[in-house]
């Protein structure tokens, strides 16, 4: 181990010193590449603990926390009809392994993935939030990315799956600025963080190659897994509908939604 690595390790240990850190990132993204003016904004959290790091939507976390409290009270809970980023990314120190948790229809998927980044550090420097930052570039998910990181916060991590720079990523964006993450605040806590979890989902564990195949099939036929799971029934107006009719309608709505969701952060998933 070099002196530099020892120094970074010591700084890293002192930085934690009994505290957990939460880094709040503003995430601006464009879902539909044909409507660049429609920019969505969501606050994301990078939660840093000694044994693992987790990245998730703050709004989704608030919703899930409220639902979990209500369910423990015996109340019927339903997720509000509000679009949020539903993915949770769990990363581990000194490892390229991550667990990517996402939903397809009503099923939950835990995807184990090995992620490595080929970072190119430049001699360009700037200042963000009063931190001295350095520019680095990489390619991932079919996009070219530019990151600004600071050695003043000796955590080799950042938003989404990005990691392994010699300091915290303060800002990162793709070359077309379709997906932009920028640090907005930091919070310290002595409490152990556990993301609220429900037991009412079917959970499937896949490796990344299996997930890519599943995801591409899902985008082509989103309701394939619902066949045989939805009974014939009457709707709220008393109209009788067969299982096939219901699934066909759900499938059509999903495909219409996909047509407007054509600008994924990992663009290569659509190829």
- In CATH, what number is assigned to the domain containing residue 41? 2.50.20
196, 65 in Cβ contact below 8 A? yes
Q: Is 134 inside a domain boundary? A: yes
Say yes or no: 116 and 184 in one domain: yes
Say yes or no: 17 and 117 in one domain: yes
Is the pLDDT reported for residue 29 higher than 50? Answer: yes
CA dist., res. 29 & res. 43, Å (int): 11
Say yes or no: 137 and 242 in one domain: no
Say yes or no: 162 and 115 in one domain: yes
The residues pairing with 171 across neighbouring beta strands, listed in sequence order, are 148, 182
CA dist., res. 196 & res. 130, Å (int): 34
Say yes or no: 20 and 128 in one domain: yes
Q: Is 46 inside a domain boundary? A: yes
Say yes or no: 153 and 255 in one domain: no
Q: Is 194 inside a domain boundary? A: no
Token readout for 93 is 């120190």
> What's the pLDDT tens digit per position in 181-213?
999 999 998 778 888 876 667 889 999 999 999
Q: Is 202 inside a domain boundary? A: no
Higher pLDDT pick, 214 / 13: 214
> What's the pLDDT tens digit per position in 141-161?
999 999 999 999 999 999 999
Name 226's Cβ contacts closer than 8 Å, sequence gap at least 6.
Answer: 105, 247, 250
CA dist., res. 270 & res. 80, Å (int): 28
Token readout for 24 is 């709040």
Dihedral sign of CA atoms 196, 199, 201, 205 in order: positive
Query: Which of 189, 213, 234 delimits the end of a domain?
Result: 189
Q: Is 232 inside a domain boundary? A: yes
Token readout for 146 is 């530019």
Token readout for 28 is 């601006």
What's the pLDDT band for 80 if we cut at 50, 70, 90? low
Number of domains in the chain: 2
Q: Is 206 inside a domain boundary? A: no
Between the CA of residue 9 and those of 4, 51, 144, what are the distances in Å?
A: 9, 15, 30
Is the pLDDT reported for residue 58 higher than 50? Answer: yes
Query: Which of 166, 189, 212 delimits the end of a domain?
Result: 189
Say yes or no: 125 and 19 in one domain: yes
Query: Which of 174, 189, 204 delimits the end of a domain?
Result: 189
CA dist., res. 203 & res. 145, Å (int): 32
Say yes or no: 134 and 39 in one domain: yes
28's enclosing H/E stretch is strand 20-29
Is the pLDDT reported for residue 12 higher than 60? Answer: no
Model pLDDT, residue 78: 63
Higher pLDDT pick, 169 / 71: 169
pLDDT (average), residues 89-106: 93
What's the pLDDT band for 73 if we cut at 50, 70, 90? low
Say yes or no: 86 and 168 in one domain: yes
Say yes or no: 154 and 262 in one domain: no
**Residue range(s) defining the domain that contains residue 246:** 221-270
Say yes or no: 240 and 140 in one domain: no
Q: 52, exposed or middle or buried, with CB in 10 Å at 0-12, 13-18, 19+? A: middle
Say yes or no: 183 and 248 in one domain: no
Name 188's Cβ contacts closer than 8 Å, sequence gap at least 6.
Answer: 19, 20, 21, 22
Q: Is 209 inside a domain boundary? A: no
Is the pLDDT reported for residue 118 higher than 70? Answer: yes
63, 56 in Cβ contact below 8 A? no
Q: What is the mean pLDDT of the chain?
A: 89
Count of other CB atoms within 10 angstroms of residue 221: 12
Q: What is the pTM of this model?
A: 0.88
113, 96 in Cβ contact below 8 A? no
Please tell me the total number of residues recorded for the chain in this structure: 271
């Amino acid at each position: 181990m070099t002196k530099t690595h020892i120094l970074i390790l010591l700084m890293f240990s002192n930085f934690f010193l009994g505290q957990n850190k939460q880094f709040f990132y503003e995430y601006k993204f464009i879902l539909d590449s044909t409507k660049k003016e429609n920019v969505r904004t969501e606050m994301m959290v990078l939660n840093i603990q000694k044994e693992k790091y987790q990245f998730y939507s703050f709004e989704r976390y608030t919703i899930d926390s409220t639902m979990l409290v209500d369910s423990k009270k015996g109340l019927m809970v339903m997720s509000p009809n509000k679009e949020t980023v539903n993915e949770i990314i769990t990363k581990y120190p000194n490892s390229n392994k991550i667990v990517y948790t996402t939903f397809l229809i009503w099923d939950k998927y835990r995807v184990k993935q090995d992620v490595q980044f080929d970072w190119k550090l430049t001699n360009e420097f700037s200042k963000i939030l009063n931190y001295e930052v350095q520019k680095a570039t990489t390619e991932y998910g079919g996009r070219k990315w530019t990151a600004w990181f600071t050695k003043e916060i000796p955590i080799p991590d950042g938003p989404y799956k990005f990691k392994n720079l010699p300091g915290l990523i303060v800002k990162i964006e793709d070359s077309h600025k379709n997906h932009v993450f920028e640090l907005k605040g930091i919070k310290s806590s002595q409490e152990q963080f556990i993301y609220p979890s429900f037991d009412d989902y079917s959970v499937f564990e896949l490796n990344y190659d299996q997930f890519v195949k599943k995801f591409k099939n899902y985008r082509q036929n989103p309701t394939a897994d619902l066949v045989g799971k939805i009974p014939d029934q009457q709707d709220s107006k008393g109209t009788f509908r067969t299982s096939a009719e219901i699934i066909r309608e759900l499938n059509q709505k999903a495909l219409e939604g996909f047509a407007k969701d054509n600008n994924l952060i990992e663009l290569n998933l659509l190829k």
